[in-house]
Amino acid sequence: MPQAFAEVTMGSDEYPVVDILSIDDNLITDVSFNEVEHPIESEGFDTKARPRESIELPRAEPTVAGLARVVTVTNQKGGVGKTTSVINIAAHVAMRGGRVLVVDCDAQGNCASGLGIDKSRVTITTRDVVLTPAMATQARHATAVDGLHLIVGDRNLIGLEEALASQLGRENRLSEALEPLKPHYDLILIDTAPSLSIVSINALAASDAVLIPVQTEYLALEGVALLTGTLNEVRRLLNPRLGVDGVIMTMHAPTLLNTQVAGHLREVFGDLVIEPAIRRNIRLAESPSQGVPIQFHAPQSHGGQDYAALATELEAIWFPGGLRDE
- What's the CATH superfamily of 60-318? P-loop containing nucleotide triphosphate hydrolases (3.40.50.300)
Do the Cβ atoms of 216 and 263 come closer than 8 Å? no
Q: For 228-259, what is each residue's pLDDT tens digit?
A: 999 999 999 999 999 999 999 999 998 999 99
Strands 148-151 and 69-73: unpaired
Q: For 47-89, what is each residue's pLDDT tens digit?
A: 344 444 567 889 999 999 999 999 999 998 888 999 999 999 9
**pTM value surpassing 0.85:** no
Q: Which residues pair with 192 in a beta bridge?
A: 105
- Phi and psi based region of residue 322 (left: phi greater than 0; alpha: psi -120 to 50; beta: remaining): left
Angle CA 278–34–273, to nearest 5:
10
pLDDT for 248: 97
Q: Taking the domains of the chain in order of start, what are their residue ranges?
A: 60-318
Ranking 31-35, 243-247, 249-253, 306-310 by mean pLDDT, the lowest is 31-35
**Cα–Cα distance between 29 and 248 in angstroms, integer?**
31
Do the Cβ atoms of 93 and 311 come closer than 8 Å? yes
